[in-house]
Amino acid sequence: MSIGAPPDLVYLDANATTRTDPRVVEAMLPYFTSYFGNPSSKYALGGHAALAVKRARAQLAELIGAAQPHELIFTSGGTESINSAILSALEAAPRRREIITTAVEHPAVLALCAWLEKNKGIRVHVIPVDRQGRLDILAYREALSDRVAIVSMMWANNETGVINPIADLAELAKEVGALFHTDAVQAVGKCPIALQATAIDMLSLSGHKLHGPKGIGALYVRNGLRFRPQIKGGQQERGRRAGTENVTGIVGLGMAAELAGRAMADEDIRVRGLRDRLEREILARVADCVAVGARADRLPNTSNIAFSFIDSEAIVTLLDRAGIAVSMGSACSTGSFEPSHVLQAMQVPDDAVRGGIRFSLSRDNTDADIDRALDIVPGVVAKLRAISPFNPKDTPKERAQAAPGHAHG
């Protein structure tokens, strides 16, 4: 796959970010130079920019099935959109002092909720999941009440790809008058979304997850909803988000949305096939590993495999040296290696919870990428297990796989 430097890199970390599609870059370029006007300006140059923003809003509205393009507010990305949704809901209903979320949300949700709980006295209900990452619906029903200002639950998990029944969850929130927000950063462009037919009040998304540029995202706010802007100043975005619009980024997001809509059905089949082959062959070739959430409904591009007896940080490092880019199912924080909160919530066994690796594909990936990954991953795992103090199964087979040259790096 030719995606830039290094030219032979096999990139399997699309849930972290995606390559900006060349057609997106082409659409953006004129708005850096030829049509550089401020869209709030009243002369023709500003008018060109304003029309481009309007067109992009319509392109994005079509992708997510919004009733009206003006339901979309352009932001700097997913984190701003998420924060704006939750904080606005609390301001709009000051007598409601509770939030409901899940144990497997992105830090953009969980960190904000923890801050609100500590500093603002907001009660946060954290709903658990089962071993497949599926939400405990009974616990959710019990947490719902007329004290809840907002429910924030992700459409699809960024580490495992597990999809929540978002439309049903939103209907339950509606019964108690709570607003419902979904972090759909990983879902938009990968699975069909038709917001107009749901009770979802707000939805967050980010351009760089669907082959658009970084630094641009959007927040869907259902028509008629009371929204309290978190960035105050001018009257841009219908008074809901102040600041001169990022016209080039908005144009790029609009084009990325259009391209995603065109390709989604075909790429669902093709990318799912690549993901399934990668997952199936790794499980067949490597002992003591498990595909996390594999029995749940998942995004077509995501596989999280937890390898027993080794740390994911070491796997990522050796795969990187071999030209394979993947992500940890865990994070390094202040020098200490901590297991992924998602894998912990899903009760992945202790011997594997530190060995979670996320393989996430995009439309850029090919059969050759999967072949190369399958050539390299088993040897890397064997090499690490052969030197791991946690491995009780240092078998002759593993020692042979770990022999010099087998791991390709």
The closest alpha carbon to 10, from 372, 374, 378, 404, belongs to: 372
Please indicate, yes or no, whether residues 83 and 151 belong to a single structural domain of this protein.
Answer: yes
Q: Is residue 116 part of a domain?
A: yes
- State residue 336's pLDDT score: 43
Whether 157 and 190 have beta carbons less than 8 Å apart is answered as: no
Cα–Cα distance for residue pair 202/179, rounded to 1 Å: 8
3-state secondary structure of 389: coil
Q: What whole-number distance in Å separates Cα of residue 234 and Cα of residue 385? A: 58
Asked if the model's pLDDT at residue 198 lies above 90, the reply is yes
- The answer to whether residue 406 sits within a structural domain is no
CA 287 to chain CA mean position, Å:
29
CATH classification at residue 271: 3.90.1150.10
Which pLDDT does position 389 carry in this prediction?
83
119-122-128 Cα angle (round to 5): 115
pTM of the entire predicted model: 0.93
Q: Return all residues near 26 (Cβ < 8 A) that are at least 6 apart.
A: none
Asked if residue 179 is part of any domain, the answer here is: yes
Q: How many percent of the chain have pLDDT more than 70?
A: 92
Give CA–CA dist 153/164, Å, rounded: 8
Please tell me whether residues 168 and 36 are part of one structural domain. yes
Q: Are residues 277 and 237 in the same domain?
A: no
d(CA 304, CA 367): 19
Cα distances (Å, whole numbers) of residue 350 to 230, 311, 339, 385: 41, 12, 10, 16
- Residues 109 and 187 placed together within one structural domain of the fold: yes
Same-domain status, 222 and 99: yes
Name the residue among 299, 216, 199, 297 with its Cα closest to residue 257: 216
Q: Are residues 201 and 325 in the same domain?
A: no
CB 251 within 8 A of CB 27: yes
Q: Which residues are catalytic?
A: 332
Q: Please name the residues in contact with 78: beta carbons below 8 A apart, sequence gap of 6 or more.
A: 106, 108, 183, 185, 204, 205, 206, 209, 217
User: For helices 312-321 and 367-387, what crossing angle results, to 10°?
Assistant: 130
Give yes or no: residues 369 and 245 share one domain. Answer: no
Axis-axis angle for helices 78-92, 107-120 (nearest 10):
40
Please give the Cα distance from 18 to 3 (Å, whole number): 10
- Do 138 and 246 lie in one domain? The reply is yes
Give the 3-state secondary structure of residue 276.
helix
- Which residues have C-beta within 8 Å of that of residue 117, sequence separation ≥ 6? 123, 124
Any residues with CB less than 8 A from the CB of 91 and at least 6 apart, and which? Answer: 228
Q: Is there a domain that residue 378 lies in?
A: yes
* 128 belongs to a structural domain: yes
Report the Cα 321 to chain-centroid distance in Å.
25
8 A C-beta contact, residue 256 and residue 293: no
Q: What is the pLDDT of residues 79-118, one digit of tens each?
A: 999 999 999 999 999 999 999 999 999 999 999 999 999 9
Judgement on whether residues 66 and 99 belong to the same structural domain of the protein: yes
**Interval 289-315: pLDDT, tens:** 999 999 999 999 999 999 999 999 999
> Residue 190: which domain range?
22-260
CA 339 to chain centre: 19
Residue 227 within any structural domain of the chain? yes
Cβ atoms of 106 and 98 within 8 Å: the answer is no
In DSSP terms, 359 is beta-bridged to 303
Please check whether residues 231 and 378 belong to one and the same domain: no
232 and 89 share one domain: yes
297 in the same domain as 189: no
The residue out of 260, 277, 310 marking a domain boundary is 260
Q: What is the pLDDT of residues 202-235, one digit of tens each?
A: 999 999 999 999 999 999 999 999 999 999 999 9
CATH number at residue 143: 3.40.640.10
Edge to edge, what strands does the sheet with 327-328 contain? 289-292, 302-307, 356-360, 327-328
> Per residue in 347-396, pLDDT tens?
999 999 999 999 999 999 999 999 999 999 999 999 999 998 877 765 54
**Per the structure, how many domains does the chain have?**
2
pLDDT of residue 6: 66
Section 248-270 average pLDDT: 97
Q: Does 31 fall in a domain?
A: yes
The verdict on residue 382 lying in a domain is: yes
